[in-house]
Structure 1
Amino acid sequence: MYGSSWADENGSIGKAYGYQLGVKHHYKEGDFDQVDRILYDLKHNPLSRRIMSNIYNHHDLHEMNLYPCAYSMTFNVSGHTLNGILNQRSQDMLTANSWNVCQYAVLLHMFAQVSGLKAGELVHVIADAHIYDRHIPMVEELLKREPYPGPTLAMDTSITDFYQFT
C-alpha cells in the first residue's frame, strides 16, 4: 500500500491484511498460516464447514494503520465445485468495489485450480456499502456511460502449486 494515506514512512500499514494471513498457528496436523491451512483443508477435508480465513484480529488492531475492510472468506465444496463467501465490513463502492470483487474472485479460482476443483460462486456480503459525497458526480458520470462487457479470466491451467501463481 505504498503511497496510501494509511501507510507509514516505510510504506507499511502495519499488522493488517498480508501480515495476518502469514501468521503461523498450531493445529494438530502441524503449523500453518491461514493460506496453507485453507489449501490443506481443501485437499484433506474438502467437506469441512471450517475452511476459512479471518484477518480481523482484535489483538493486533492497535498496530494496524487501516482495519481490514474485507476481513473473512469462508469456502464450501459442493460436489467438485468450490464456492466462497467474502465478508466485508466497509466498502467504498466507487474506488474499491471492482478491485475487491476481482481480487477475491481470482483467489477463489486459484484455490479451486490447485485443489482440483471447479470455481463456483463468490458471494460478497458488505455490511456498509457507501459512496462518499465527493464521489457522487463521478458516480453519476459513470452511470451515464455505456457499460463494457464483463472481463474474462485466463489462468495457466498447468499450475498445481498455489505459490507458482505470479
Structure 2
Amino acid sequence: MLKRADSARHYEWQYLDLMREIWERGDQRVDRTGIGTRSVFGAQLRFDLSDGRMPLLTTKRVFWKTATREFLWFLTGDTNIRSLCAQGVEIWTDWPLDHYRKATGDQISRADFSARIVADVAFAEKWGDLGPVYGKQWVNWPVYEPAGEGLFSQRAQGVNQVADVIDSLRKNPGSRRHIVEGWNVAEVDQMALPPCHKTYQFHVSGNKLNGLLYQRSCDVALGLPFNLWGAALFVRLLAQQCDLEPGELVWMGGDTHLYLNHVDLVEAQLLREPDGDPRLAILRRPDSVFDYRIEDFEVTGYAPQGQLSAPVAV
C-alpha cells in the first residue's frame, strides 16, 4: 500500500498520504458502529526511532502524555478504568459509560460518571471494568491446568508475555518468536472492545531493536496517532531494558479506515504541512519495564499545530 519512507521527506507525510488515499479512494462501508467508514486494507508505515525520534504527529496536537499513561496502564495488567480516570485519562470511559446508560437508563454525563468511578470503589468495580483487554493478555494470559478427571482450573498467574519477550531478547536475540499477542480467541467476547493493535513482534539486527505492530482495525484520524506513539514507546522501553538501540517501527494495518463523521478533521488536517523534529528522552532506567512512571519521559522540539477533534465511535 505505502512503501518505505523517503528519508528526505518529513516522516509525517506517510500518515497524511495514507489519510488522503483513504478519503479519496477508500471503499465506503457500513461498520459495526453504524456511522460508516471509508476503508483500505493492508497499509504500511515505517518510522526511524534512532536518536530519540518518535512518530509524533505535528499537523495536530497529540496528547503524548495521555497516550503514555494509557500504555503504562496496559503494563500493569489492570482492566478497570478507575486508575485512568484518576489521572484524567478518559480514553476508555465511553465503553463502560455506554453500558451503564443502557443497563440503568440513567443518562449521567461523562464527567459525572468518571468522577463517580474515581470516588466510589464499589461503583467502579461494578461498572468500570472492561473485561480482559490488552494489559490482561499482555502480562497475564490465562493458563489452565488439569484439576481432576475432565476438569481444568485456571492458574493464579498466567503468562507474562512482556517479561518473556524481554528474557528472550536478552538470551536469544535471533529468535523469530519475540511476540506479544492481544487476540485471545477464547476471551474476545468478554472484552469491551476486541484488541485493535493486536500483535507486536520484535526483531534484533546488530545492536538495534526493531518493532512491528499489526493492527486489525485502525481509526486513522483518532486512534492511529496514539497507536504509533504507543508502539514506538514499546520499542524504546524494551530497547533500554535489553541494552539495545532503537531501530525502526513498522506499522501494518488491516481494515484501515476513516469515519464519515470525521470529515471536518480530515479535510482540515490535509490542508496542513508537517514541521518539526520532536524527540523523546527517557530520563531514568528502572529495574523493570513495569516500573516506569510518567515523570520518566520528556519530549522536546514538539510544537504542533492546533488541536483537531472528532467524536469517538463506540
Q: Which runs of 5+ in 1 are unaligned?
A: none
Aligned to 2:224: 97
* 1:150/1:96 CA distance change after superposition, 3 Å: farther
- In the other structure, the counterpart of 2:95 is 6
One-letter amino acid of the counterpart of residue 135, structure 2: G
AA matched with 2:131: G
Identify which range, 17-26 or 118-127, moves more after superposition.
17-26
**1:21 correspondence with 2:138:** yes
- What amino acid does structure 1 have at the position aligned with 2:136? Y
**Could you tell me which of 134, 138, 142 is aligned with 2:261?**
134
**Partner of residue 42, structure 1:** 169
| Superposed CA offset, 1:124-164 (max 9, x none) | 00011111110012110112234342421111254453223
Q: Supply the AA of the counterpart residue of 2:269.
A: L
Does the 8 Å contact 1:76/1:84 carry over to 2?
A: yes
CA-CA distance at 1:25 after TM superposition: 6.5
| Separation of aligned partners in 1, 2:192 and 2:290 | 27
Between the aligned partners of 2:159 and 2:140, the Cα distance in structure 1 is 8
1:21-100 matches, within 5 Å, as 21-23=138-140, 32-100=159-227
Q: Are 2:240 and 2:285, in contact at CA under 8 Å, matched by a contact in 1?
A: no
The answer (yes or no) to whether the contact 2:141–2:159 under 8 Å persists in 1 is yes
Closer/same/farther in 2, CA of residues 137 and 24 from structure 1, 3 Å limit:
closer
Question: More relative contact order in 1 or in 2 (CA 8 Å, sep 6+)?
Answer: 2
TM-score by length of 1: 0.88
Count of equivalent residues: 162
Separation of aligned partners in 2, 1:22 and 1:158: 20
Contact 1:25/1:33 (CA < 8 Å) preserved in 2?
no
Q: Higher helix proportion, which one?
A: 2
Which deviates more, 151-160 or 51-60? 151-160
Question: Conserved in 2, the CA contact under 8 Å of 1:89 and 1:126?
Answer: yes
CA RMSD of superposed structures (Å) = 1.9
In the TM superposition, residue 46 of structure 1 has moved relative to its aligned partner by 1.1
TM-score of the two chains, using structure 2 as the length reference: 0.48
Aligned to 1:117: 244
Structure 2: distance between partners of 1:13 and 1:53: 20
Report the Cα distance in structure 1 between the residues aligned to 2:167 and 2:261, rounded to whole angstroms.
Answer: 45
Shift of 1:43: 1.2
Larger Rg: 2
Tell me how far apart the structure 1 counterparts of residues 196 and 286 of structure 2 sit (CA, whole Å): 30
Extract unaligned runs of 5+ from structure 2: 1-80, 82-89, 101-126, 144-157, 294-314
* Match runs of 1:127-166 below 5 Å: 127-156=254-283, 158-166=285-293
